[in-house]
Amino acid sequence: MSKRQPPSYWYGNQSVPWTARALAGVYGTVTQWRRKAYRNGWLKSGSVPVPVLVVGNLTTGGTGKSPTVIAIVKRLQAEGYRPGIASRGYGRSDEKQALRVTAETPIADSGDEPAMLARATGAPVQLDANRLAAARALVADGCDVIVCDDGLQHYALARDLEIEVIDADRRYGNAMLLPAGPLREPVERGDEVDFRILNWATTEPRQLVRGLWPMQYRYGDAVSVATGKTRSLDSFLQRRVHAVAGIGNPERFFEFLRQRGMLIIPHAFADHYPYAPADLQFEKALPVLMTSKDAVKCRAFAASNVYELPIEAQLPDAFWNQLLERVAQIKERRNPQVTA
């Protein structure tokens, strides 16, 4: 079992090693030059003739991008759009190879998050390290909106809207650049995005910093990974269960189960962990609860006591009104004769 965690000084009060600080200075210089090069046209960005929305973050690691992408894609579909999802597909066997993900694509080829996105939305998912190429492939297949899963720093693809997702607990950690801290870009970069979402917000919207949209979650019934049969979450109350999470912040999943009244035995794995049958064989034969991101990698060998907990991101109506209005305006400017 892997328990890879970020350095303790990223999200704690420990002092940062001088070597990490020095490397962060170099990283910051390179990052600043790269952004300047795109702004001044020294490096070129390519575009596509449909609205492009990028969902990303300033920190490395999980902040809730994929649930946000799923929520946005489903809302666009409900409004009559045909969105496509562009992603690099982190952790797949060949990240340099372009790939269209379907329900039958092996997890090793697609990676866990693209498989989850495809299953959850039914939308076309195109994987390519070159997100401009991915976007163009989706447009060629009839997609009229592109939603990028991650890629806030991938400036080769011109974008119309940027959506930053921020972890409510970790925020920006010590606010230092990699490797001294978790930041891919300076905190000030967040002032330039169009929408900022606070993932797992626990305060009322009126108490949030202006410009932050609160995102919370609703879990559905547990679904057997092996059979697809559902089971009420309440049936696990006051029962001991194994809780499995290979995500950016496993403790958040564990805490949710505790708050729901379950007596959990936690099993934290590294983000994007490649599960094998032995990983789910525990000494005590109890129900096993896991996230959707974990479940897509365990379908081939999960026993009947292994359950997925589907999650649905929830955002305020005002957020959706503003986002959809912006998308419609962009689409109208691109092609005045076509409406969603």
Looking at the structure, do residues 232 and 266 belong to the same domain, yes or no?
Answer: yes
pLDDT of amino acid 162: 97
Looking at the structure, do residues 190 and 248 belong to the same domain, yes or no?
Answer: no
The phi and psi torsions of 177 (rounded to 5 degrees) equal: -75, 160
Looking at the structure, do residues 169 and 195 belong to the same domain, yes or no?
Answer: yes
Q: How confident is the model at residue 4 (pLDDT cuts 50, 70, 90)?
A: low
* 114 cis-preceded (ω within 30 degrees of 0): no
Do strands 83-87 and 125-127 pair parallel, antiparallel, or not at all (unpaired)? parallel
Q: Contact at 8 Å (CB) between 89 and 149?
A: no
Do strands 99-101 and 83-87 pair parallel, antiparallel, or not at all (unpaired)? unpaired
73 domain residue, yes or no? yes
- State what percent of residues in the chain have pLDDT above 70: 95
12 domain residue, yes or no? no
5 domain residue, yes or no? no
Residues pairing with 56 in the sheet: 164
Looking at the structure, do residues 102 and 158 belong to the same domain, yes or no?
Answer: yes
Q: How confident is the model at residue 1 (pLDDT cuts 50, 70, 90)?
A: very low
For residue range 169-204, list pLDDT tens digits in order. Answer: 889 999 999 999 999 999 999 999 999 999 877 655
Looking at the structure, do residues 73 and 156 belong to the same domain, yes or no?
Answer: yes
Looking at the structure, do residues 188 and 96 belong to the same domain, yes or no?
Answer: yes
For residue range 34-77, list pLDDT tens digits in order. Answer: 999 999 999 999 999 999 999 999 998 777 899 999 999 999 99
Looking at the structure, do residues 74 and 182 belong to the same domain, yes or no?
Answer: yes
254 domain residue, yes or no? yes
Looking at the structure, do residues 43 and 192 belong to the same domain, yes or no?
Answer: yes
Q: Which domain holds residue 268?
A: 221-309
pLDDT of amino acid 62: 75
Looking at the structure, do residues 174 and 67 belong to the same domain, yes or no?
Answer: yes
2 domain residue, yes or no? no
Looking at the structure, do residues 77 and 174 belong to the same domain, yes or no?
Answer: yes
